[in-house]
Structure 1
Amino acid sequence: MNNKSTLLANRIFPDNNEFEVEVLNIPAEKRKLITETYDFTVSTINDYINNEHIVIPNFQRGYVWNRTQASRLIESLIIQCPIPVIYLSQNGDETLSVIDGNQRLTSISLFLNNGFPLTGLSTYPELDGLTFSELDPRFQRHIINRTIRCIAILKETHPQIKFDVFERLNTGSVRLNPQELRHGIYNGTLMTKIEELAKSSIFKKLTSTGNDNRMKGDELILRYFTLVERYAEYVKPMSVFLNKYAEDNRFMPENQVKDLANNFTSNLNKCHLLYGDFAFKTFDENRKRLKANTALYEAQMLSMNTVNPTLQQIKAINKTEVINKLELLLQNVDFYNTITKATTDKNVITKRITDYTEFLQTIF
């Protein structure tokens, strides 16, 4: 018998509550999906969507099925063709968010609410052109009484395991990136505010996210929020760290998220005032090739939050001298390595932010 296998099994299926040290940042006994299976009728699913017990997140790609695809799904219900399993995520308030099945559920909800007439049917072309209310009542009852298998990942499941499952189920023609996944899974007051902040023209200019359609800017803001509040607690990997913060603060109280947004906006404006177009940028010896750098963005924003100079102090500073000093700092190999190599290692993050804070303190 393999000893490693036995040790792992002891942790996943323990005889008592004594657990060993964490492995891969998540205890082995917590690396399990906790699920419940439901066979919901189509009528129940529609009711749940209408009263928001089942929530279809506003994903970046949204609803993309055409009417023929949606109609063929309805036809599959009529001919009793099996429908693929729907995967749901149970939220803290007991609602269920769709993590796989967005197109199917949206199509069903639209049709039952007379959102479109059937088209392109192959088995029952006689029904083409009819909306749900125009179908014979027997067809209506047949459709709404069909059941669809739904598997809900319960809220007791570790949030990172939920995220991992979502990534595995993310098989669309354009795969969602981690921030797009977070936007769907953790959609709430926090993500709504982040999405709003990411539209700032100053932010887009300084971070080179002017043509951002994949939520890169949103992730930068989430990184700032997470580090400014949990910097001392940071543990790799960064993605898991961000996921945990987003999960914990999904429904952050409005006053709290407003304060956090004001803090972000204040420090963003201070960085812009102090560094101008050089904010968050590395540059060549001619200061021509400016390139936004995520690690430098974190260092400048977090150090600004710590040092907290007033607008009057910043206005009084000679900006040319600031950029000269910044150029010397970027030429320092030790510091430059912290923004270009292993940038999410805890020791590297600590050194980068500490060094930059000391640099900013020499200015003020």
Structure 2
Amino acid sequence: METSHDDDSLVNFADDQDDDLDIAPNPDRFRDAVLYGTDWTVRTLLQQIEQGNIDLSPNFQRRDAWSSRNKARFIESVALQLPIPQIVLAERKEQRGTYIVLDGKQRLLTLAQFAGGFSNDHSLWSESAKVGPLRLSGLKVLPDLNGKTYQDVVDRAELGQFRTQFDNHTIRSALIRNWPDEDYLYEVFIRLNTGSARLSPQELRQAMKPGPFTEFLSVRSGDSSVLQKILGLTAPDFRMRDVDLLLRLIAFQTRLPRYKGNLKPFLDDTQRHLNASWSDEQNNVVALVDRIEDGLEFLIKCFGSPREVGRRWDDKRFDGPINRAVLDVQIASAFDPNVRRAVASGALDLRAAYIDLSESDLDFGQAISVTTKSITAIRCRYQSWQRALEKAVGASIQMPVLPNA
């Protein structure tokens, strides 16, 4: 499994335990899919990437997780022909012979950064050209490769053995064909990562639902300094949980009445809808994200720290991981002009109001912790927060239209 790039990496969402996939048990769906293994050489894998058959989009490079040291050690392991964990690919239904990466993106990206030969019109070229080829360092078993790029290895006859070992090393690849539906791939994706931190399915959603809105989500979330501050990041998250959060905030602000009680299909449908209608919706969505970023800045000022925004108040302190259910209602109130005026005049302490609600309203606490995605829980937390603010402000507070119970 891929590992994080530094200690500032995003801690999993606090409400992940309630964010399961709700896939109906059906053993037949697993029997229908065809799963087989193949041993591809490194050079074959690189050719597949260069030809666009394995998609490593430029946006994924911005979410590069491994340090230069880890990349160099991985390349050294390949050159030593040590066993490499398998990669898992799913063949696209609409184009045979092209693949979605379910597990192994960082390994493939590192191989491409070191030894990929990209044409000038390749989608990866512009990002690759910015950083230049990977130059190895810190190697102890193969110190002759320190300071070398792949081209250096090619140009030096005495390093020919290392090139041969590198290019011809085989990596086990598990290929999935004839998969029944997207839920099957989500199930495989989550199970692949069961031994590590629980993951958002957004990384797979980005691959499964390409389009202009998908591109916008990746770029805008990666460029959002305030979103990164809220999440405790210093760079775009390599597992795309910042993308997940931005998609959710957009969906809850624009399509909440359509929510049926299952989060994954609701977010799937929102991403699909906005990709299809981007020419009509782009200006509205961009304006909404501007408001979301402004609202997050407002919340940081109100709470005094980005690490307190969107967190549960429990046992006289704020939790560490972000709770999306909390942030949903907080950002909605940050849009309301009566809340803004009351905060500006000193009539409302938003942080104190939130702590008071958390300590005094058991139903609100349940709706942001025990179960968060049910329609009942969503209605409860929005309405509880709205009532608390209206009591404090003495004026009506606008919230999104809620789904029917």
Scaled by the length of structure 1, what TM-score is found? 0.61
Q: 2:250 aligns with which of 225, 228, 231?
A: 225
- Once the two structures are superposed, the pairs formed by residues 325-336 of structure 1 within 5 Å of their partners are 326=353, 331-336=360-365
CA distance in structure 2 between the partners assigned to 1:290 and 1:104 by the alignment = 36
> What RMSD in Å do the two structures reach over aligned CA positions?
5.1
Map of 1:70 onto structure 2:
75
Gaps of 5+ in 2: 1-20, 118-132, 208-213, 304-308, 399-405
- Once the two structures are superposed, the pairs formed by residues 152-171 of structure 1 within 5 Å of their partners are 152-154=175-177, 156-170=179-193
Map of 1:100 onto structure 2:
103
Task: Please say if residues 34 and 179 of structure 2, whose CA atoms lie closer than 8 Å, have aligned partners that are also in contact.
Answer: no
Task: Please say if residues 32 and 178 of structure 2, whose CA atoms lie closer than 8 Å, have aligned partners that are also in contact.
Answer: no
Map of 2:199 onto structure 1:
178
Compute the displacement of 1:195 (Å). 2.4
Amino acid at match of 1:300: Q
Relative distance call for 1:121 and 1:147 in structure 2 (3 A) is: same
Compute the displacement of 1:199 (Å). 1.9
CA distance in structure 2 between the partners assigned to 1:198 and 1:89 by the alignment = 31
Compute the displacement of 1:263 (Å). 1.1
Amino acid at match of 1:353: Y
Q: How many residues align?
A: 320
Relative distance call for 1:343 and 1:73 in structure 2 (3 A) is: same
Task: Please say if residues 202 and 244 of structure 2, whose CA atoms lie closer than 8 Å, have aligned partners that are also in contact.
Answer: no
CA distance in structure 2 between the partners assigned to 1:143 and 1:268 by the alignment = 46
Amino acid at match of 1:195: S
Map of 2:46 onto structure 1:
46
Q: Report Cα offsets for 1:157-208 as digits up to 9, x if no partner.
A: 4334323333443489xx45524x63466265154145236422xx566x47
Map of 2:218 onto structure 1:
192
CA distance in structure 2 between the partners assigned to 1:282 and 1:41 by the alignment = 49
Relative distance call for 1:326 and 1:46 in structure 2 (3 A) is: same
Gaps of 5+ in 1: 1-22
2:294 aligned with 1:264: no
CA distance in structure 2 between the partners assigned to 1:363 and 1:126 by the alignment = 67
Relative distance call for 1:135 and 1:32 in structure 2 (3 A) is: farther
- Once the two structures are superposed, the pairs formed by residues 1-364 of structure 1 within 5 Å of their partners are 24-26=22-24, 28=26, 29-30=28-29, 34-35=33-34, 37=36, 40-56=40-56, 57-58=60-61, 59=63, 61-62=65-66, 65-76=70-81, 84-91=85-92, 94=95, 95-102=98-105, 104-106=107-109, 108-109=111-112, 110-111=114-115, 131-135=153-157, 148-154=171-177, 156-170=179-193, 175=196, 177-179=198-200, 182-183=202-203, 186=206, 188-193=214-219, 195-196=221-222, 198-200=224-226, 203=227, 207=230, 209=232, 218-231=243-256, 232-236=258-262, 238=263, 240-241=264-265, 244=268, 248=272, 256=281, 259-267=284-292, 269=294, 277-278=302-303, 294-302=324-332, 317=342, 319-323=345-349, 326=353, 331-357=360-386, 362-363=396-397
CA distance in structure 2 between the partners assigned to 1:261 and 1:227 by the alignment = 15
Compute the displacement of 1:88 (Å). 1.6
Scaled by the length of structure 2, what TM-score is found? 0.56
Q: Report Cα offsets for 1:220-239 as digits up to 9, x if no partner.
A: 33332333344333434x5x
Which has the greater radius of gyration?
Answer: 1
Compute the displacement of 1:277 (Å). 0.5
CA distance in structure 2 between the partners assigned to 1:126 and 1:280 by the alignment = 50
Relative distance call for 1:107 and 1:220 in structure 2 (3 A) is: closer
Task: Please say if residues 90 and 100 of structure 2, whose CA atoms lie closer than 8 Å, have aligned partners that are also in contact.
Answer: yes
Task: Please say if residues 343 and 349 of structure 1, whose CA atoms lie closer than 8 Å, have aligned partners that are also in contact.
Answer: yes
Range moving further from structure 2, 47-56 or 27-36: 27-36
State the identity %: 17
Relative distance call for 1:243 and 1:47 in structure 2 (3 A) is: farther
Task: Please say if residues 275 and 322 of structure 1, whose CA atoms lie closer than 8 Å, have aligned partners that are also in contact.
Answer: no
Relative distance call for 1:127 and 1:168 in structure 2 (3 A) is: same
Q: Report Cα offsets for 1:49-89 as digits up to 9, x if no partner.
A: 2233223444552366353542342342xxxx876533123
